Amino acid sequence: MSKKIACIGVGNLGRAWAAIFARAGHEVALYDNAPGAVAAALPAIESTLNSMAEADLVEDVAAAMARIRPCETLTDAVAGVDHVQESVIEDVEVKRAIFRELDRAAPPDAIIASSVSSIPPSEFMANLEGGARCIVAHPVNPPHLIPVVEIMLGPSTSEETYDACCALLSGVGQVPVRLNKEIFGYVLNRLQFALINEALHLVDGGYVSAEDTDKIIKYGLGRRWAFMGPFETNHLNATGGIEEYYSKFQGAIGGTIKELFLEPHPLNPELISRLAEEMERTTPVADVPARQEWRDRQLMALTGHFGDMQPEKD
């Protein structure tokens, strides 16, 4: 059934959410407080939908665009909506202010979800009258091509809000995953930055180049991780499953974990400019927009391969 959605903040993430909801048949209102931002978002959303159509991921771009309504005010955008997807900048004061405003303006039974990527919900969802309908729905960039959405409950989020938010997201082709306890950085970014911290130590220490580190992930870990997680990987690495794997390789696993560079690597300017020099040789900064398009085409091909991210049919 078609629902009414408001996308608040239409930068990178808000635009992608608009494409996701409109593609799935929902009515989408757009609002951003920067002058001209909504007008700039419309052609960007259309272009996203057009490239998805080329990969058979959208049936009717014109119909999807007709479901999108640009709004001049936040009050107009949230009038009569079932779900608000907040995607304003990652700043705790800005998040606090927008949640207070949304809680006052949105219908009492509307869900208010935040795309926030690191700040724990208790830091901006506390003491809201409608705290029960506020929730974190943290996507991965670009969310129209990467399905997982981390769901974290705020200090007073209700289970009904959790269920309804998951039903909406599953219905549009995303994969909601519940994080059971509040934690800074959430799970995906903690895993990602644990790996990146180790990579910074290894590159800075001269053990491997940045280019070859990318190759190790691209042609190694990433090949399996595109379709299964690390624990399933362990489980399939021994015919007796994960118990046999951990007992057989205990020495190698424990020994390597003990040797990891666990202290935070300083993000010093020398190292960052060395990385930038190396990246410039493989992907010059001038080619980044073209390379982003290439990345999105690869992701669309993967989505086609897996046959997922399809919205539910009525």
Ligand X SMILES: NC(=O)c1ccc[n+]([C@@H]2O[C@H](COP(=O)([O-])OP(=O)(O)OC[C@H]3O[C@@H](n4cnc5c(N)ncnc54)[C@H](O)[C@@H]3O)[C@@H](O)[C@H]2O)c1
The binding site for ligand X (CB under 6 A) comprises 8-14, 32-34, 37, 87-90, 94, 98, 115-117, 138-139, 141
Q: How does strand 134-139 pair with strand 148-153?
A: antiparallel
Minimum distance from residue 102 beta carbon to ligand X (Å): 9
Q: Using the minimum distance from each CB to ligand X, give the nearer residue, 101 or 244.
A: 101
Q: Is the dihedral of CA 244, 246, 247, 252 positive or negative?
A: positive
Residue 94 CB, shortest distance to ligand X, in Å, is: 5
Min dist CB 33 to ligand X, Å, is: 4
Q: What's phi and psi for 135, nearest 5 deg?
A: -155, 155
Give the nearer residue to ligand X in terms of CB position, either 116 or 300. Answer: 116
Q: How far is the CB of 149 from ligand X (least distance, A)?
A: 9
Nearer to ligand X, 141 or 192 (CB): 141
Contacts 24+ apart (CB under 8 A), 257-262: 260/198, 261/197, 261/198, 261/201, 261/202, 261/205, 262/197
- Residue 91 or 243 having the CB closest to ligand X: 91
- Residue 129 — left, alpha, or beta (φ > 0 → left; ψ -120 to 50 → alpha)? alpha
Comparing every residue's Cβ against ligand X, the nearest one is 11
Q: How far is the CB of 262 from ligand X (least distance, A)?
A: 26
Q: Please identify, using beta-carbon distances, which residue of 37 and 242 lies nearer to ligand X.
A: 37
When the beta carbons of 12 and 234 are compared against ligand X, the nearer one is: 12
Handedness of CA 180, 181, 185, 191 (dihedral sign): negative
Please, which residue, 61 or 149, has the CB nearer to ligand X? Answer: 149
Smallest distance, ligand X to C-beta of residue 248, A: 38
- Quote the least distance from Cβ 31 to ligand X, whole Å: 6
CB of 101 to ligand X, least distance (A): 8
Q: At its nearest, how many Å lie between ligand X and the CB of residue 25?
A: 23
Select 37 or 164, whichever has its Cβ closest to ligand X: 37
- In this complex, which beta carbon is closest to ligand X, that of residue 196 or of residue 216? 196
| Paired sense of beta strands 175-179 and 148-153, if any | parallel
Token reading at 282: 């493989």
